[in-house]
Structure 1
Amino acid sequence: MAEQAGGGPAVRENPVAQSLKYAILLVGAVIVMLPMYLTATLSFKTQAESAKSFFSLPSGLYMGNFAEVVKGKFWIHMANSLTITVVSMLFIMILVPMVSFAISRNFRHRYFKFVFYFILSGIFIPFQVIMLPVLKHMSGLHLLNQAGLILMYIALSLTQGIFLSVGFLKNVPLELDEASTIDGCTVGQTFVRIIYPLMLPIIVTIVTLNCLWIWNDFQLPLILLNRSPNYWTLPLFIYNFKTDYGFDYNKAFAGFFLTMLPIIVLYGFMQRYIIGGLTEGALK
C-alpha cells in the first residue's frame, strides 16, 4: 500500500470520480475558450472565408477588418475608456487604503464599526435597485459625463475594496504603528511609509478586479454617457457597432479582439496576485 510522506496510507481517488472531474474541467475549458477562439479566428478572416468555414482556422492573417475598425472613431472611444479607467484607479488606490486604515485601526469604536458595516451593506444592494435614482441625481447635478461616471465607479468600488482591505489590515500588528509613533512619525507618515507598502498585495488585487469591471462595464456608461456618441466607451462602441457596419461579423469580431486585448494583457500580468490577495483580505 502506498504511503504518504507523513507515514500514513495514501488515499486513492476513485478512477470514475477522477475521470468525471477531468471531463467536467475539460467541458468548462472548452466553454471558456470557444468564444476567445472564435473572436481570434474570425478577426483574421474575410467574409467569404467565414461563409465557407466558420470554425476553421484562417488561411492567412487578413488585417483588413482591423483597418476598417480603427478607421472610424475607435481611437476616441479607446481614449475615453482608458481615461475613465486610469483616473478611477488612481482615486481608488488612494481612497480605499486610507479609509480602510482608519476603520481597521479604530474598529473598537462604534462610529467606525457602523461606517464599516454601512459601506459593506452596499454589496447586498443590486445595481438595478439604484439605477433610476442614480440617473435622476446625476442628471440633477449635471454629471451625465465622464466625470460623473468616474465618481460613480469610485463610490461603487468602496464596498468590495474596503471589505478586503480591512480584513487584510487586521493582520498587520498594531505594534508597527506604535513603533513608528515612538520614532516621531505622525499618523499620516505611518500610513504612507509603513502601512501602504505593506498593503501592496491587496491593492494590486483591488486594482486588477476593478480594472476588469470598469473596462468591460456596459450599464453605467449606457446610463451616464448616452447623450453623445463622442462620450462612448468601448463597450458602447461595440454594442452600436452593427449600426455602423451592418452585420459584418468579421469586422465586429475584430472590434471585440481589439477591445479585450489590453485587459487580457493586464490580467495576464496581474492574475497571480488575485487569489492570494482575495484570500488574505477575506479569510485571515
Structure 2
Amino acid sequence: MKRTTNWTSTLLIALGSVLILFPLYMAVSIALKNPEEMAQSIFSLPTGFHISNFAEAIELTNFFQSFKNSAFITIFTVVLTLLTNSMVAYAVARNMNKKYFKGLYFYFISAMFIPFPIIMLPIVKLTTALQMNNPSGLIILYIVYGLSFNTFVYVGYIKSIPGELEEAAIVDGATIWGTFWKIIFPLLGPINATVGILTCLWAWNDFMLPLIILGKPEMATLPLVQYVFQGQFSTNFNLAFASYLMALLPMVAIYLFAQKWIINGVTQGAVK
C-alpha cells in the first residue's frame, strides 16, 4: 500500500515540538553560561560548561535543606491523599442513590470552581490562629484542596467496578472496611497512580500556598528559595536557571516515567 504523508499534522507536531523544546534549550543554555556570555547573546550556545553555576546555586538557596522540605511535604501529601481521598470517594460512589451523598458529591465538585484568591486571606488567618503555619499544616491543606478533583475522578472509576465483588465479599463475612482495603483499593491501581502523580507534581511545584503558609525561612520549599536570585535592580539569571533545572529534574523524571498512567487514569476516571 502506498503511504501518504499528512503534512498538516507533521507541521503541527513540528511546531509543537519547537514550542516545547525551545524554552528547555534556553533554560539549559543560560544555566551553563557566565554573565559575560549572557551579555553577548542570550540565544547562542555556551562556549564552556560553567558547572560552578550549579554549585553556587546550591549554596545560595540552601538547596539540600529546601529539597528535604519539599520531599517531606510531597511524600506525605501523596500518601495521605491516596488513603483519605479514595475512602471518601468510595463512600460517595456506592451511595449516590441517597440524597445526602449525592449532594456531598456535588458539594465537593463545586469547590473546583472557587478561585483561590477569594479564600487566600481567610486561610492565612485561620492557619495562623490554629498554629498550622508549618509543613504539617501545609500537608493538610493539600489533602483537603485536592479532594474535589480527586473525588471526581475516583467516583467515575469506582462506578465502573462491579458491585457484585463487594456483595460476594460481604457474603463471605468481610466487613466494609476489609472489603475496601482487600478488594476495592487494589483495583484502584490505575487511578491511584494518576492521583498520586498529579498530587506529587502539584505539591512539589506549588508556590502560592507555601508562600502564605510557611512562617519561617528554614521551612521554605524549593519554589520559594528561587526568590534569592532576584535583587532590587537585577537578577542573576545564570544561577537562577541552574537552580530551576535542579528543582525541575526530579519531577520531569517522574512524569516521563509515569505519563501513561496519568492519561489512562484521567480518561478512565472521568468517563464510565
Return the match for 2:49 from 61, 64, 71: 61
Q: Does 1:183 align with 2:172?
A: yes
Deviates more, 1:204-213 or 1:162-171: 204-213
Q: Does 1:205 align with 2:194?
A: yes
Conservation of the 8 A alpha-carbon contact between 2:32 and 2:46: yes
Q: Counterpart in 1 of 2:253?
A: 265
Conservation of the 8 A alpha-carbon contact between 2:33 and 2:238: yes
Distance 1:241 1:158 in 2: 35
Distance 2:81 2:131 in 1: 23
Conservation of the 8 A alpha-carbon contact between 2:74 and 2:203: yes
In structure 2, the CA distance between the partners of 1:89 and 1:210, relative to structure 1 (3 Å rule), is: same
Return the match for 1:156 from 145, 151, 154: 145
Return the match for 1:137 from 126, 130, 134: 126
Map Cα deviations across residues 220-262 of structure 1 (whole Å, 9 max, x no partner): 111112x322121111111333249962211111000001011
Q: Does 1:254 align with 2:254?
A: no
Distance 1:22 1:239 in 2: 40
Q: Counterpart in 2 of 1:8?
A: none
TM-score (norm 2): 0.93
Deviation at 1:121, TM superposition (A): 0.9
Q: Counterpart in 2 of 1:237?
A: 225
Q: Counterpart in 1 of 2:71?
A: 82
Q: Does 1:25 align with 2:13?
A: yes
Distance 1:237 1:245 in 2: 18
Return the match for 1:113 from 85, 93, 102: 102
Coordinate RMSD, CA, aligned:
2.2
Q: Counterpart in 1 of 2:157?
A: 168
Distance 1:31 1:155 in 2: 35
Q: Counterpart in 2 of 1:7?
A: none
Deviation at 1:68, TM superposition (A): 0.5
Distance 1:243 1:54 in 2: 20
Q: Counterpart in 2 of 1:40?
A: 28
Deviates more, 1:141-150 or 1:21-30: 21-30
Report the number of matched residues: 271
Distance 2:48 2:231 in 1: 28
Deviation at 1:21, TM superposition (A): 4.1
Conservation of the 8 A alpha-carbon contact between 2:229 and 2:237: no
Distance 1:103 1:228 in 2: 39
- State the secondary structure of the residue aligned to 2:146: helix
Return the match for 1:91 from 71, 80, 90: 80
Conservation of the 8 A alpha-carbon contact between 2:210 and 2:224: yes
**Identity %, equivalent residues:** 39
- State the secondary structure of the residue aligned to 2:38: helix
Deviation at 1:129, TM superposition (A): 1.3
- State the secondary structure of the residue aligned to 1:172: coil
Deviation at 1:22, TM superposition (A): 3.5
Deviates more, 1:110-119 or 1:53-62: 53-62
Distance 2:245 2:189 in 1: 31
Distance 2:126 2:23 in 1: 38
TM-score (norm 1): 0.89
